[in-house]
Amino acid sequence: MGIFVPISLGLNGRVDAEFTVVDFETTGLAPGRLIEVGAVRMRADGSVVRELSSLADPGPDVELGATWIHHITRERLEGAPPTSEVVGALLAFCQDSVVVAHNLPFEERFLAHELSRLGLDVPRLPGLCTLQAARTHLTMPNYRLGTLVSELELPGMASHAALDDARACGRLLAHLLKNSRGLTVSPEYPALPFVPGPRRFKPRASGLRKGERGWMACLMERLPISTAGAADPAMAAAYVELLTAALADGKITGVEARALADQASRAGMSRAEVEEVHRATLQGMHRVAASDGVITPAEARDLYRAAQALGLPDHFGDLPITSSGDLRPVPR
């Protein structure tokens, strides 16, 4: 018996269910072991409720498989919680929701394997496969997640990073729900067993690109919007030190952004925590500039450049300087 009770898209009108879209990076196809979990809890309209993202350590003797595809190495797994704890957190995350994946039976095999290792008998859960739904409702060149996201011009990307792929699948789900207008059944949600989750997650901010908004805006977008665990204080302090050094010249390079992404991962920091650190750092720079009672045009430009480098160009909206670096008229 499988884990999921398959449900499908139909014409039932309004959908009140919440969905948990999942994606796994694994060691192989046998099935292998889970080494990264990404999950997005969302509503039918596409609004995201919360996210879960973490690397997962299956143990020191487990071969990691195709690292050239998922880019997860032993070094990256250092400090990651055990796979069993991440699976426990995922079960709690899925409670009272329809579980969704692109090729759900494929993901189900890996989850079933991990649950069997824990000796857990999990009741059957409502599940929806976007691969099957896309084949039913869309005509496409092929039905790979990356192709669907591209052809439908949906935001996001399929990148062999679990959270990125879960987000892309979630946007595909919202598109399908909007156009098929509902579920053919009313899901029932059994109680799931409790498995202790990790005290701290290790999210991965991968595939950074400078883009139009800069390296750090991309870094924040790659991190989960929040995490259930708390960031490691010492590792978070090390992130602040790296950030301060990187901002010394008023810009952040790709090398510096990747080092900061790695440190945020080691600290277990979410996007909200990283943004809080960035804003606190900018406020500290503002206090230093204003300590003599005046912020000069040169100091204002330096503050603006720092905010722009962190992907927060509107942080200093009250400074007498425009985004182009020109001075604004100061009211008298």
pLDDT in tens, 90-126: 999 999 999 999 999 999 999 999 999 999 989 999 9
**Topology given in CATH for the domain delimited by 4-180:** Nucleotidyltransferase; domain 5 (3.30.420)
pLDDT bracket for residue 1 (50, 70, 90): low
Q: Which amino acid is present at 288?
A: V
Q: Do residues 154 and 167 make contact, with C-beta atoms less than 8 angstroms apart? A: no
Between the CA of residue 255 and those of 32, 63, 210, 215, 259, what are the distances in Å?
33, 29, 11, 10, 6
Average pLDDT over every residue of 278-293: 92
Q: pLDDT, tens digit, for every residue of 150-199?
A: 999 998 776 789 999 999 999 999 999 998 878 888 899 999 999 999 98
Residue 327 pairs with which residues in a beta bridge? 321
Closest of 111, 124, 128 to residue 174, by C-alpha: 128
Dist. CA 203–CA 200, nearest whole Å? 10
Q: Is 8 helix (H, G, I), strand (E, B) or coil?
A: coil
Residue 151 and residue 318: Cα distance in Å, rounded?
42
Domain assignments of the chain as residue spans, ordered by start = 4-180, 215-309
pLDDT above 50: residue 331 = no
CA atoms within 13 A of residue 207's CA, in its CB half-sphere: 16
pLDDT category at 320 given cuts 50, 70, 90 is: low
- Identify the pLDDT of residue 158: 63
**41: β partners:** 20, 50
Q: Note the pLDDT tens digit of each residue in 266-277.
A: 999 999 999 999
pLDDT tens, position by position, 44-91: 999 999 999 999 999 999 999 888 888 899 999 999 999 999 999 999
Peptide bond into 31 cis (omega under 30): yes
| Phi and psi angles of residue 29, each rounded to the nearest 5 degrees, phi first | -110, 10
User: 143-153, pLDDT tens digit by residue?
Assistant: 999 999 999 99
DSSP per-residue string spanning 188-204: --PPPPP----SS----
Q: What is the pLDDT at residue 54?
A: 96
Residue 177: per-residue pLDDT: 93
pLDDT at 329 over 70: no
Report if pTM > 0.85. yes
299-305, Cβ contacts within 8 angstroms, sequence gap of 24 or more: 300/327, 301/325, 302/250, 305/250, 305/251
Mean pLDDT for the chain? 90
Residues with Cβ < 8 Å from 290, sequence gap 6 or more? none
> pLDDT tens for residues 229-248?
778 999 999 999 999 999 98
Residue whose pair of structure tokens reads 């729900």 in the numeric block: 177
Residue 208 pLDDT exceeds 70: yes
